[in-house]
Amino acid sequence: MQFSAAQIAQIINGTVEGNPDIVVNSFGRIEEAHSGQLAFLANPKYEDYLYTTGASIIIISDTQEIKQEITSTLIRVPDAYSSFAVLLDKYQQLKSQMLTGIQEPVFIHATVKKGDHIFIGAFAYLGEQVIIGNGSKIHPGAYLGNNVTIGENSIIHPGVKIYHDCKIGSGVVIHANTVIGGDGFGFAPQADGSLKKVPQIGNVIIEDFVEIGSNTTIDRATIGSTIIRSGAKLDNLLQIAHNVEVGNNTVIAAQTGVSGSTKIGKNVMIGGQAGIVGHIQIADGTKINAQSGVSKTIKLPNTAVTGSPAYDYTSALRSQAIAKNLPQLEKRVKELEEMVKRLQNNQ
């Protein structure tokens, strides 16, 4: 696919400086892009490459000053990074629209309902009463159990497993090898010391415009639903336990674990390798630092916490500053003790 500078500027509401008819057919990083590629400049530390890059077109900020001669055509926008993201999304949509049809071999049960302009890749399995919405793409090797619903324009990448009765919304992206709807970790201790499995008869509901990374697991509810609300973004390698709720537009970084029945509010940001215990609530707008261990409910919205057990971020920074000075403080205490002893001996 080829696009001219004028066409790109129209998509991202930018202003062209240079040749509006010049075309590009791929993307490149500004430090290594060549003729026929589109790049962008958002980080000031890459500014020098603006004058040496081979890129045909560069997206830059309205406020970017030009200090030397430039051979590339520029497209100015208020926010170069956001505009580049919009352009990449549009490009991905166009590529996805080209992918349609059903490859062989696949298993598609006779009761499956298929929308228009869908794609089902080879070796996919679609069980009884599955529903695939218009424009959705099921990539090779995916498994959709009985009564699974996929909304419109969603993408299920290779090797994804979606167990029975789970509901996936529209505009959802689930990356390779993620498992949706596996059993929650529920076992009842018995008098003889053994553990009896508690049947997990609920499901998982993933609302619209959620993105889930590779190799993440989201367990089905014991009863009811595990819910990922609209707009949430989940990284690779997460464990979301049974009956958890993740709020709208919340982001969770890799290797985080959330224990059962915890309710996470909207617009929460959770850093990598955080651990959250079960049956607590995390208020809207909370920021949880990487490797934090959250063991209690966070009631106050827009709170920032860190550490294990997690506590107020500002207080934690003060404690760290004091901890760095402990050797010097110890030395001063010993000097004061010696001074006190001398004073006592001179009485």
- Domain of residue 218, CATH code: 2.160.10.10
Task: Judge if 283 and 256 occupy the same domain.
Answer: yes
Task: Judge if 108 and 91 occupy the same domain.
Answer: no
Q: For position 250, what pLDDT does the model report? A: 98
Alpha helix (H) ranges present in the chain?
5-12, 80-97, 313-324, 326-345
Task: Judge if 23 and 35 occupy the same domain.
Answer: yes
Domain count, the chain: 3
Task: Judge if 198 and 338 occupy the same domain.
Answer: no
**Residue position matching structure tokens 């009761």:** 111
Residue 250 contacts by C-beta under 8 Å, 6 or more apart in sequence? 229, 232, 233, 264, 265, 266, 267, 268, 269, 270
Q: Say if residues 133 and 153 touch (Cβ distance below 8 Å).
A: yes
Question: What is the strand order of the sheet 155-156 is part of?
Answer: 101-102, 119-120, 137-138, 155-156, 173-174, 211-212, 233-234, 251-252, 269-270, 287-288, 304-306, 311-312
Q: Check which CATH number belongs to the domain holding 91 and give it.
A: 3.40.1390.10
Task: Judge if 54 and 167 occupy the same domain.
Answer: no
Q: For position 325, what pLDDT does the model report? A: 79
Active-site choice (109, 157, 242, 279): 242
Before 105, cis peptide (omega within 30)?
A: yes
Task: Judge if 63 and 184 occupy the same domain.
Answer: no
Q: 110 to each of 126, 131, 263, 279, how far by Cα in Å?
A: 10, 12, 38, 41
**Most distant CA pair in the chain: distance in Å?**
101
Task: Judge if 276 and 128 occupy the same domain.
Answer: yes
242 given a catalytic annotation:
yes
Task: Judge if 127 and 264 occupy the same domain.
Answer: yes
Task: Judge if 296 and 334 occupy the same domain.
Answer: no
Last residue in a domain, options 37, 63, 97: 97
Task: Judge if 256 and 327 occupy the same domain.
Answer: no
Task: Judge if 184 and 255 occupy the same domain.
Answer: yes
Between CA 147 and CA 151, with CA 148 as vertex, the angle to 5 degrees is 130
Instruction: Note down the domain range covering 329.
Output: 316-345
Task: Judge if 36 and 112 occupy the same domain.
Answer: no
Last residue in a domain, options 57, 77, 97: 97
The structure's pTM equals 0.81
pLDDT by position in tens, the chain (length 347): 789 999 999 999 999 999 999 999 999 999 999 999 999 999 999 999 999 999 999 999 999 999 999 999 999 999 999 999 999 888 888 877 778 999 999 999 999 999 999 999 999 999 999 999 999 999 999 999 999 999 999 999 999 999 999 999 999 999 999 999 999 999 999 999 999 999 999 999 999 999 999 999 999 999 999 999 999 999 999 999 999 999 999 999 999 999 999 999 999 999 999 999 999 999 999 999 999 999 999 999 999 999 887 767 677 777 777 777 788 888 888 888 888 888 888 76
